[in-house]
Amino acid sequence: MKKNDVDISSIAITNEAYQFKKREIKSKYDQVFESLEPNKRLKMPSSEVSTVSKALRAWLKRRGLPDNVKIVAKCEDGMGGVWWFNEPKQKAAAKQSAPKTAWVGLIKKAA
């Protein structure tokens, strides 16, 4: 018998339905994020701002919430801050190009 040959007699059909288990992703910040309200500051040392904001964005994305997060590395109190706003991010207004010149009524005259 070859290595890749399957013994047909070892295969059986059952009525067992597939049970998919979704992997649950957790972080050490979950407990803090769950109690966070929109437009409230997460106060932390400045060195932690980037890490916490990245984790917050991922946490919000997993829950289907808008990931509108703003950070300030050094606030007036010397600590860093991360804020979450429950509104979708505002897209920047598209730059308007210069108006195109319309050459209406100008006809080249025959010489």
Assigned domain for 95 exists: no
pLDDT at residue 92, rounded to an integer: 59
**Mean pLDDT calculated for residue range 33-57:** 93
Assigned domain for 51 exists: yes
Assigned domain for 43 exists: yes
Span 56-111, pLDDT tens digits? 999 999 889 988 999 999 999 999 999 998 877 766 566 666 666 666 666 666 65
Total domains, the chain: 1
Assigned domain for 74 exists: yes
Per-residue tokens: 88? 């979708």
pLDDT at residue 71, rounded to an integer: 93
Residue 59 is part of which domain span? 29-85
Assigned domain for 13 exists: no
pLDDT at residue 56, rounded to an integer: 94
**Mean pLDDT calculated for residue range 7-19:** 86
- How deeply is 46 buried, as exposed, middle or buried, from its count of CB atoms within 10 A (0-12, 13-18, 19+)? middle
Assigned domain for 52 exists: yes
